[in-house]
């Protein structure tokens, strides 16, 4: 869960399309704040589709979350609104369909490991043709630390979630 000072306190009082735009802006702002330090940082990420068929990373830095971890389940509800805002679908219709599908898109996590090195856990199911290592290293300021990329089955998509999300988005 986001730390209180980073939460949208009026999220239940605005229409869903406006909320989708607001959550998108907040997520980008938090990512930009983390990148401004130009130091490696930990957090969760999702590969998210765009209506034109491309994919991009959605980065969720740990520093903004209680207990210091941006859990995929914690960020999924906001990400569902962000997805609904990107596609020509009504957020109020898509959210109930995908709100319990946090394994529906390719995802991973950047961690500082016990030995002090940086690591990237991934499900090895990122979009074909995209450079996992370069994209994640750039998004999390990992270029100079040469992180260890490793498969983690916990980060893999689940087929039932993947099908539900793609069907809801019309992709």
User: Please, which residues bridge with residue 48 across strands?
Assistant: 56
pLDDT band at 2 (very low <50, low <70, confident <90, very high): low
| Distance from C-alpha of 65 to C-alpha of 61, rounded to nearest angstrom | 8
Give this prediction's pTM: 0.88
Higher-confidence residue: 69 or 123?
123
Is it the case that residue 34 has pLDDT exceeding 80?
A: yes
Q: What is the signed CA dihedral for 147, 151, 153, 158, rounded to 10 degrees?
A: 90
Q: Helix, strand, coil proportions of the chain in percent (round to 5)?
A: 45, 20, 35
pLDDT given for residue 49 in this prediction? 95
**Where do the structural domains in the chain lie, given as residue ranges?**
4-169
Where is 111: in which H helix or E strand?
Answer: strand 107-112
């Amino acid at each position: 869960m986001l730390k209180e000072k980073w939460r949208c306190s009026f999220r239940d009082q605005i229409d869903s399309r406006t909320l989708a735009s607001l959550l998108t802006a907040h997520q980008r702002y938090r990512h930009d704040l983390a990148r401004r330090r130009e130091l490696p940082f930990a957090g969760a990420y999702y590969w998210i589709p765009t209506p034109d068929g491309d994919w991009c990373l959605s980065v969720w830095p740990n520093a903004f979350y209680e207990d210091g971890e941006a859990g995929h389940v914690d960020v999924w509800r906001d990400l569902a609104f962000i997805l609904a805002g990107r596609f020509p679908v009504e957020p109020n219709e898509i959210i109930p369909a995908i709100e319990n599908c946090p394994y529906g898109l390719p995802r991973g996590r950047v961690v500082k490991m016990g030995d002090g090195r940086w690591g990237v856990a991934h499900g090895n199911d990122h979009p074909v043709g995209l450079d996992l290592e370069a994209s994640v290293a750039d998004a999390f300021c990992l270029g100079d630390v040469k992180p260890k990329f490793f498969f983690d089955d916990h980060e893999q998509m689940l087929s039932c979630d993947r099908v539900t999300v793609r069907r809801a988005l019309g992709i």
